Structure 1
């Protein structure tokens, strides 16, 4: 059964941990720590050789809705969904990636940085986009400027956002969810600091509910 509606797939989750996982060996403990912290979804970036295996392992965990990020080609999208990804995120807008995700029946969230890119995404029939890289682009000021002329668009701002900025982004009515890597960084994984991952995740989830 397919579902191309991202809000339904995320089931109300408003914090999206963005994960760059160097080894599949960390996938199980990482999924445990995120779920224990209250996360209901996670995005695994296709930036490492083990990314496909990490998606598969975390999707099998059962406690998280797992998506694939940094998807650049239709082939990557196909591999990600075959591994268990329930949604696909790209850093930019690519018509072929969008078409492949529709064929596969999964939500796709393309990245936009300008009004022109946003208009291309809307023309393709999408109503949810990733503002990327959010903070370097101007953060909330840029989000507000883009949201004003496109009132039906939902945003998933990602890039440079940390715990201190989370609540401000979530307070904007156009924001569906916020993506961030501060909850589980490669450094946390290198140290095996799953307790800290759980703590930071719980803190972020709590802030998303206030």
Structure 2
């Protein structure tokens, strides 16, 4: 299931990020790619150790955790330090699946992937995020500050950029709820629960919806 999040970053944050990126140094994206992904990854990433890197990463993580939509759809436990990626004309990231475990000594399961768009769609041609799914191909290209959340198990790619520059932050999250179908059911039940709370906060059905939501999360959540 793909989920679109709007207004993850404010306009002020976008301006600050773009200003920091303008002065930052980038390196070949292959430096963080696995042995197979190196064959398909043709982009640039903010250089590790770059003085602005920690500021940028923390801004993205803070924005995600304050966004109610992100918390509701992911049941997030941990978020990986984001990668700030840059694509110029001729660059792309071929079809691939993300690593199931990431990190150094303390490796983390990657349940969920997220791309947060920093460039406006009009600033570049191409560069769509492409997904393969049982229902056919899907392409996503969002306004700056918006994000797409998707299962990390998904085959996907970044289409070639033919004009301009595509900036995005990419990260992965581990969820308290490992099973993707369970997360989807809890997310949908949360929408029902919010509606009932607004329309009939004291109704028996509202109490029942909150009870079901809490106990399903208790059943499915991992410590």
Q: TM-score with structure 1 length normalisation?
A: 0.26
The structure with the larger Rg is 2
Give the number of the structure whose residues are more often helix, by fraction: 1
More strand by share: 2
